[in-house]
Amino acid sequence: MIYMKTEKKEEAISEALKAEEVLRSRWYILDTQGKLWDLDEFDFTGHENLKKFSGYEYSKDRTSAQPPPHVELMRSLELVDYEPASDPGNLRYYPKGRLVKALLEEYVTRMVHEYGGMEVETPIMYNMEHPTLKSYLNRFPARQYTVESDDTTYFLRFAACFGQFLIGHDATISYKHLPMRIYEMTRYSFRREQRGELTGLRRLRAFTMPDVHAFCRDMEQAKEEYRRRFKLSQEVLAGIGFTKDDYELAIRMVRDFWEENGELVKELVRQHGKPALVEMWEKRFFYFQVKWDINFVDNQDKASALATDQIDVENGERYDIRYMDEDGTQKHPLILHCSPSGAIERDIYGLLEKAARDASRGLKPSLPLWLSPTQVRFIPVNQDMVDLCKEMAAALSRVRADIDDRDETVGKKVREAEKEWVPYIVVVGERERGSRKLQVRI
């Protein structure tokens, strides 16, 4: 680990991050037929989003000259805003934004529970000089926040790996327990991203990330789990509101992995249903042999990883995690690192960017119904209708309904409900009271 002076502060820089900055990659496109194309030979006709993503990845430029559309939306919808009293990249959430974020956290957690993830909770800071943790820090490409307490320097976690692996080290594990899946919704994880790269919800220094690791017996079991988690991640993203047209797949690996496990990689691309970007290294710089990431491409042609998974071949031994195999010998497991949705903040970013794209095409912007802070708004035409609106709202079980009983015109109330992206707007007057039938604006 080395230290660099940045923005007049000292920050921890890993050896892996230094390696990433000078890493030489070969770039390809892998099509659904299993053919690997050099990047400059592939015909991107019909795959314009993949072309944008490939250009973004190849350029390595993460800065933005102008704020992306979602920044204005997150503010105007009263979801999220910058916090001037905190470090850049640390945000404040208003009640509507906290509701959306909580709904996403609950949904992803439920999906991981159904997959078999056992939920734990671990500290957000760890001793910088712990030999195992220090070794791992140097293998992960990220900048760290550090904290001084008494005479000890601590770093803030960038993921749940540290706590979950220390649990694994202390556990008594049999091969019968594998694959063993451990999960945490990290609120928060921290990465001290460069200031020029910080943008709204797209790139943060403090973020909430679902992190599920699987300890696997061997490469065959790891590959089977890898397939299962890829499907899980696709299902999670679909449930949030993303379609395959919204994202692009990247698979990053050492050449040896491709040569030995190319069929697995091709299988993932077939399941993805369209060509994918491949980044290949001649030698392994990191703790993993392969990782895939699903990336959202926004209105500025910038990409951000949502879901991801890796096959880690180092940390089982580094953390001295052992399992008793069938023959009575102790062995180190392979470890898979998966975030089936990516950072929750990035999911909100992606949904807002999608809505901005719809608006630019003349479509009505919206959040998915299940994430809309207010799903139904009742608008009484006068004060005599307020009690009826209350009765109707109370009758809607498990629906987030409210009543706009302000002394404003009905037209103004409707326009403001539309500006708030309320999916269903119900104007209630004498006709509705008499017929008990409602006219709903969608």
Backbone CA torsion sign across 79, 81, 85, 90: positive
Task: Give residue 430's pLDDT.
Answer: 86
Q: Are strands 80-82 and 91-93 parallel, antiparallel or unpaired?
A: antiparallel
Contact 12, 250 (CB under 8 A): no
pLDDT of residue 152: 95
374-441, superfamily in CATH? Anticodon-binding domain (3.40.50.800)
Ordered by start, the domain boundaries in the chain are 23-122+159-359, 374-441
Tens of each residue's pLDDT in the chain, 442 residues: 333 334 444 445 555 555 555 667 899 999 999 999 999 999 999 999 999 999 999 877 767 778 899 999 999 999 999 999 999 999 999 999 999 999 999 999 999 999 999 999 999 999 999 989 888 887 766 688 999 999 999 999 999 999 999 999 999 999 999 999 999 999 999 999 888 889 999 999 999 999 999 999 999 999 999 999 999 999 999 999 999 999 999 999 999 999 999 999 999 999 999 999 999 999 988 899 999 999 999 999 999 999 999 999 999 999 999 999 999 999 999 999 999 999 999 999 999 999 999 999 999 999 999 999 999 999 999 999 999 999 999 999 899 999 999 999 999 999 999 999 999 999 998 887 777 777 787 7
Its sign, for the CA torsion 80, 81, 87, 88, is: positive
The H or E element that residue 412 is part of is: helix 410-419
Per-residue confidence (pLDDT) for residue 60, from 0 to 100: 72
Query: Which regions of 286-369 does DSSP assign to beta strands (E)?
Result: 288-297, 303-312, 323-324, 330-331, 334-339
Residue 435 CB partners (closer than 8 Å, separation 6+): none
What tokens were used for 65? 């000259």
Q: For residue 369, give the 3-state DSSP assignment.
A: helix
Identify the pLDDT of residue 198. 92
* CATH architecture of the region 23-122+159-359: 2-Layer Sandwich (3.30)
- Quick one: tokens of 17? 């991050």
Contact 383, 405 (CB under 8 A): yes
What pLDDT score was predicted for residue 100?
A: 99
> Could you give the CA distance from residue 116 to residue 176 in angstroms, rounded to a whole number?
15
Q: What is the pLDDT of residue 22?
A: 60
Residues 6 or more apart whose Cβ sits within 8 Å of residue 276: 29, 30, 50, 248, 249, 250, 251, 268, 269
* pLDDT at 300 (0 to 100): 93
Question: Considering only CA atoms, which of 370, 342, 348, 366 is closest in space to residue 298?
Answer: 348
Tokens 């314009």 belong to which residue? 48
Q: What is the pTM of this model?
A: 0.91
What pLDDT was estimated at residue 73?
98
Q: What is the pLDDT of residue 205?
A: 96
> What is the four-CA torsion angle of 107, 110, 116, 122, rounded to 10 degrees?
80
